[in-house]
A and B are shown apart, each in its own frame.
Chain A
């Protein structure tokens, strides 16, 4: 059913990492667990630029996500709130997410508003889905020239695994689904509630 996904929502997140030696085993397990992944999952190449604006003593960050393998797709402007990790009763970190699909002139607009780019990443990997849980297995690259994807160098040989589930409120059953799915991935990858992209 098509629903409007923009606007504020909550996102449950779990991060983990896996070495190249176990990467094939992880993909094999995800193909067995996930929906519609019999062909091997869907590969993606995304570019993420982090912008920052300072208003006096306070500063705020937003991220711009562009799909390099689907040029017609709209760019996504995302604001992530603080990732709450302290609640021991909760199995995953939760943060508010405000997102909006924008046109391809988004970067110019942000620069005009006073946002400064502070970092850029290229993410390459595969995306899977199991019910409401989205699984990303990817590596991060430091691009020197975004137009030449062959020249980018990875930060590390390891793969980052990100499990996310959207929820309409901070108390949702999506976290149970996320936790159960994380159990399926043991012992190949140990998912933890940390901020993996820091």
Chain B
């Protein structure tokens, strides 16, 4: 402390006067002693000089401060504070000389007699026990048997149905198909409410007769749905020769035959499924009516709010009738098969009903399962071909064709037409097979198929030494026949034309058989025609030469020629001597039937014929 020197001069700091554009700083120059004195003199307030006597020098007031007053007072203050700090540190460091540290005296606690202490503790414990008891009562109530059963049933419901809790605490479920891809807005809100059922409510909510409830567990859930979704509904399709204009009762048509579920459904689920079925049928029928109304056709379609009557063909008459049957009876909301009352209505085509429903579900899935765009700048599409080919790869007509495939009503019409034509084809083919007797034997083999627009039948032509199968394919309204000689022939649903083709195929097979027999018997095959030439007299004389085949044979000794015309169940033979002139005409002309009704096959009879004509 004695060696420390404290300077009382103010510390000079370099003040920046200006900064150049180049960044060079110019400092303020240190003022000289005279400049410093001048600054100090300027601080003196000469106006406070008191006026004294004349000639006497002015006396300065005691209030005039000397320039070092301020730093002097600051330093003095700092010295005081530092001294205080030093003293405090000294005291704390060596407190034994200056302070006596002692413990705080404990507050004397009032002591009660033991009995009173027990009473106080007992009251406190009683209060705590009461709180705990209230808590356990609440827990017991929530984990009661009924509550557990309700929560279990609710969990079971939530496994198969979308359920949520509304802001007001109600439990609501979703009945619609919007999350499954449907864009249809139902006529009423597609929700149901779930509550815990009391005894009285369950008997009203459940549709089963009371006798069935005996022995069963009491229903836990009470499902409430809107009035518009109660009852039952079905879309039924008839395919008949006359239009079905009225179908109002479920008991007249029944419901879709179903495989019974593995376990019996609880009544609330039956109720929900029936309501969902109503919504689905509403959507299906609305699509059908819209598409039927927009179909451009010359046939007279009738589209109403509850039925669609569409003729498939007028000759022969075939009508497609689609009805939306709706019953609002609460007691009949069920999905079990309805007891069908015999009526005059034709049988319902449940296969078409199921197909229509599947087509609607397919449309739902298409709107959900869109292919992600690759690269991501493209748009979502439901057509993978379009996705991979790129938009410019397909023409507008091809894209429009793809759009048309989505029409449920058109698909339904195609399927109905195909079913109708399939029935007709079946009758014609059975008639054809029945009309042929003897050799060759005709058999029909229907190829089982899940397609509703394609049918394949094999017409087996069997004879001695072999056989052949003619493939007949029906595609809605066109029949395609695979020819024995190769290639295919297509024709519309025309009985005469189709049976003519098939009879001709049998004759062609017989022609090939005859050629084989002739070759075996060393006859020379001059010509063979699957369609006879008009130059042949036999062909000209025949009434139905279009279904015939023609063969020209030469005998092994080259003396005779045979002109053979093969027809359905007939063979005409004309024999000519090789040396005979045209003016002489054929020597012998024979015509006889070749059906071996009485035992012999065509192979055998033709061999005999060649033997006699040699």
Contacts and interface: CB of A to CB of B under 8 A. Distances in A.
Contacts of A69: 374
A95 to B, nearest CB: 13
B261 interface: no
B392 A100 contact: yes
A101 B378 contact: yes
Contact of B373 (A4, A72, A123, A134): A134
A99 interface: yes
Interface string A100-132: 111000000000000000000001000101000
A5 B378 contact: yes
A141 interface: no
A78 B377 contact: yes
B377 A76 contact: yes
Contacts of A20: none
A46 B376 contact: yes
Contact of A73 (B368, B369, B387, B396): B387
Nearest to A9: B379
A35 interface: yes
B386 to A, nearest CB: 5
Interface stretch (B399-407, B442-450, B452-460, B538-546): B399-407
A72 B388 contact: yes
B360 to A, nearest CB: 15
B85 interface: no
A143 to B, nearest CB: 15
Contact of B378 (A1, A76, A136): A76
B382 interface: yes
Interface string A1-18: 111111000000000000
Contacts of A3: 399, 403
B142 to A, nearest CB: 29
B381 A127 contact: no
B389 interface: yes
B399 A2 contact: yes
Contacts of A2: 381-383, 386, 399, 402-403
Categorize the interface residue count of chain B: 20 to 34
Contacts of B467: none
Contacts of A67: 374-376
Given A1-B403, A4-B396, A35-B368, A101 B376 contact: no
Interface string A62-81: 01011101101111101000
Contacts of B378: 5, 76, 99, 101
Given A2-B382, A5-B391, A73 B375 contact: yes
A147 B590 CA distance: 85
A3 B369 CA distance: 16
Contact of B376 (A5, A44, A72, A74): A44
Nearest to B179: A35
B391 A134 contact: no
Query: Majority SS of interface residues in chain B?
Result: loop
B392 A6 contact: yes
A100 B393 CA distance: 10
A42 interface: yes
Contacts of B370: 36, 129
A5 B373 CA distance: 12
Contacts of A134: 373, 376, 379-380
Given A2-B382, A36-B368, A127 B376 contact: yes
B372 interface: yes
B585 interface: no
Contacts of B377: 46, 63, 65, 76, 78, 99
A45 to B, nearest CB: 9
Contact of B390 (A66, A70, A102): A102
Nearest to A63: B377
Please indicate which of the listed interface residues B375, B389, B392, B406 has the most CB atoms of chain A within 10 Å of its own CB: B375
A42 B392 CA distance: 25
A166 interface: yes
A99 B368 CA distance: 25
A16 B376 CA distance: 17
Given A5-B381, A5-B391, A101-B391, A76 B403 contact: no
Given A65-B376, A76-B378, A6 B391 contact: yes
A10 B567 CA distance: 71
B399 A4 contact: yes
A70 B378 CA distance: 13
Nearest to A73: B374
A5 B375 contact: no
Contacts of A70: 374-375
A4 to B, nearest CB: 5
A69 B375 CA distance: 9
Contacts of A136: 376
A4 B391 contact: yes
Nearest to B181: A35
Nearest to A6: B391
Contacts of A44: 372, 374-376
A183 to B, nearest CB: 19
B380 A73 contact: no
Interface string A146-179: 0000000000000000000010000000000000
A74 B386 contact: no
A44 B394 CA distance: 25
Contacts of A123: 376
Nearest to B378: A76
A118 to B, nearest CB: 18
Contacts of A42: 372
Contacts of B396: 4
Nearest to B391: A6
Nearest to A101: B390
Interface in B324-370: 368-370
Contact of B388 (A6, A74, A129): A74
Contacts of A1: 382, 403, 406
5 contacts: A3-B399, A6-B391, A65-B376, A65-B377, A69-B374
Given A76-B375, A76-B378, 9 more contacts: A1-B406, A2-B402, A65-B377, A70-B375, A73-B375, A73-B387, A74-B389, A101-B391, A129-B370
A-B residue pairs, 4 tightest by C-beta: A101-B390, A74-B390, A70-B374, A6-B391
